[in-house]
Amino acid sequence: MADRVGICAVAQTRYAPDRSDVSEGELAYEAIKEVLEETGLTLSDIDSAVSCSEDFWDGRTISNMNIQPFVGAHLGHEDKVAGDGLNAVYCGLAQVLSGHQEVVLVVAHMKESQAEHALIENAAFDPVFMRQLGLDFLSAAALQARRYMYKYGITAEQCAGVAVKNRGNAKKNPFAQEPLDLTVEDVLASRMLADPIRRLDSKPVSDGACAMILTREARARKLTSKPVWILGVSNCYEAHYLGDRDLADCRALTEAAGKAYRMAGIRNPLREIDVAEISEEYSYQELLWMEGLGFCDRGEGGRLLDSGKTRLGGKLPVNPSGGVLSGNPNHVAGMARVAEAVLQLRGEAGDRQVEDAKRALAHGVTGICGQHQAVMILGNV
């Protein structure tokens, strides 16, 4: 990359199970207002806005109309990325790097509470061959969890261990929706949703928004004393049909991570990354995604968790924020990971701060069994 792009400010709403007290735009503006105040910018200083939301979830065709007045897009530039919010950050990065835009506001919003997740997610399956099976993301994830556990001998206790770790970390995160003191037994005793995924193995229904401001290096240094640089990014699609994939694998993630690492000059992620925020909508995913990210070998995700290296205070803390399991809406989740990575690199993560964090990884996922994967590497030097 010729120039560097810096993130000058990030903000998140407190994630909550039901924000019917506000409209989507008002929700987004809670986060937007904070990044404007922090940088001293006004909406008229924003050259371009990139939003991330989904018509199906908003129940509104052209869902970016919900947030248009709140991003200053009246007679200005706005584009909507329809996937995980991390891709909107990637889109904003390209706008700045291209030299065509200078100050870019990126915002993602979602109110899962107002929609029926199974109906919407079923509409993501190919309408001719798969939709009639009645799958949603949860039941498809259960197939993936089973396959992964079978192939590598991953245990239900190891998956539950992710839920225990992350919801415990969430107690230190003021934005988290579901901070809980849990034991593995608590998780294994929670209600079964889709075998082997139990209630506490699964993310809760969540509403919230996330915003950030991106700009080129020289401007970033003027807007904040603590800019965070985007060092590498990539994303990747897997095949759609579940039968075309080995669900115990996550090739798209390996591919996306490989490209992001090359851009950032990272050879050994476990050693060179100080903190990772990854999108685990279900507990097994943290183990599987850690393998895809190259933190350990295939099938070793459970053992890496057991080693304690991914705990807060370990060699590579994973999801010190509490992760998606502790409550982030989909389409916002990956961008929330970027926001948390930025807080860590600025030393502003409060009780969940990882000491002396210099390089962080943020990961986002969209679709069925992680069909689309996105990885971003950030640094503070």
Partner 1 sequence: MPNRVAIVGIGQTRHRSTRRDVTLQEMINEAVRAALADADLRMKDIEAVFSSSMETFEGIYLPDHVGAVEIGTYMKPGFKVGTGGTSGASVVVEGFHMVSAGLYDLAMVVGFEKQDCGETTAAITAATTPIWGKGAVTGAIGEFAKQALSYMETSGAREEHAAQVRLKADRGACLNEYAHLKLGLKSAEEVLKSDYLVWPLRFLDFCPQSSGACALIFASQQRARKVRSKPVWIADVEVVHQEPFWAGTFGDPTGRETYSQHVACERLYKRNGITHPRREIDLAELYEPSNWEEMNLYEHFHFCEKNEGWKMVEEGVTEIEGDLPVNPSGGVIATNPIGATPTIRVAEAALQIRGDAGGHQVPKEVNTALASALGGPNWTVLTLLKRSV
Q: Name the residue type at position 343.
A: L
Q: Token pair of 162, please?
A: 């992710």
Judged by beta carbon, residue 129 or residue 150, the one nearer partner 1 is 129
Asked whether position 285 contacts partner 1 by CB under 8 A, the answer is: no
Least distance to partner 1 from the beta carbon of 105, Å? Answer: 13
Least distance to partner 1 from the beta carbon of 50, Å? Answer: 9
Judged by beta carbon, residue 79 or residue 272, the one nearer partner 1 is 79
H/E stretch holding 231 reads: strand 228-237
Least distance to partner 1 from the beta carbon of 356, Å? Answer: 30
Least distance to partner 1 from the beta carbon of 139, Å? Answer: 15
Q: How far apart are CA 37 and CA 328, in angstroms?
A: 24
- Residues pairing with 235 in the sheet: 374
Q: Which residues does 226 contact at the CB level (< 8 Å), separation at least 6?
A: 346, 347, 348, 380
Stretch that binds partner 1, among 69-77, 153-161, 184-192, 299-307 (CB under 8 A): 69-77
Q: How far apart are CA 259 and CA 293, in angstroms?
A: 11
Stretch that binds partner 1, among 68-76, 182-190, 209-217, 265-273 (CB under 8 A): 68-76
Asked whether position 202 contacts partner 1 by CB under 8 A, the answer is: no
Stretch that binds partner 1, among 87-95, 196-204, 305-313, 354-362 (CB under 8 A): 87-95
For the purposes of burial, counting CB atoms within 10 Å of the CB of 98, is it exposed (0-12), middle (13-18) or buried (19 or more)? exposed
Asked whether position 182 contacts partner 1 by CB under 8 A, the answer is: no
Of 273, 375, 381, 327, the residue nearest 12 (C-alpha): 327
Q: Token pair of 276, please?
A: 């990772």
Asked whether position 270 contacts partner 1 by CB under 8 A, the answer is: no
Among 13, 173, 202, 371, interactor with partner 1 by CB under 8 A: 371
Q: How far apart are CA 114 and CA 57, in angstroms?
A: 8
Tell which positions 89-118 bind partner 1, by CB under 8 A.
90-91, 93-101
Q: What does residue 315 show for φ and ψ, rounded to 5 degrees?
A: -65, -45
How far apart, in Å, are the Cα atoms of 376 and each of 16, 153, 252, 365, 379?
26, 30, 14, 12, 10
Judged by beta carbon, residue 62 or residue 192, the one nearer partner 1 is 62
Contacts with partner 1, 222-261, as mask; x by CB under 8 A: ------------xxxxxxx---x------xx--xx--x--
Asked whether position 143 contacts partner 1 by CB under 8 A, the answer is: no
Judged by beta carbon, residue 74 or residue 199, the one nearer partner 1 is 74
Least distance to partner 1 from the beta carbon of 123, Å? Answer: 4
Helices (H), 245-306: 251-264, 269-272, 283-292, 301-306
Among 125, 152, 175, 295, interactor with partner 1 by CB under 8 A: 125
Relative to beta strand 48-52, strand 104-111 is parallel
Q: How far apart are CA 287 and CA 300, in angstroms?
A: 8
Least distance to partner 1 from the beta carbon of 154, Å? Answer: 25
Judged by beta carbon, residue 49 or residue 162, the one nearer partner 1 is 49
Among 30, 112, 121, 201, interactor with partner 1 by CB under 8 A: 121
Report the 10 Å Cβ neighbour count for 267: 9
Instruction: Tell me if residue 163 falls in helix, strand or coil.
Output: helix
Q: How far apart are CA 24 and CA 193, in angstroms?
A: 29
Contacts with partner 1, 14-43, as mask; x by CB under 8 A: ---------x--------------------
Instruction: Enumerate binding residues for partner 1 (CB under 8 A).
Output: 1-2, 23, 48, 54-56, 59-62, 64-66, 68-69, 73-83, 87, 90-91, 93-101, 120-121, 123-128, 234-240, 244, 251-252, 255-256, 259, 366-368, 371-372
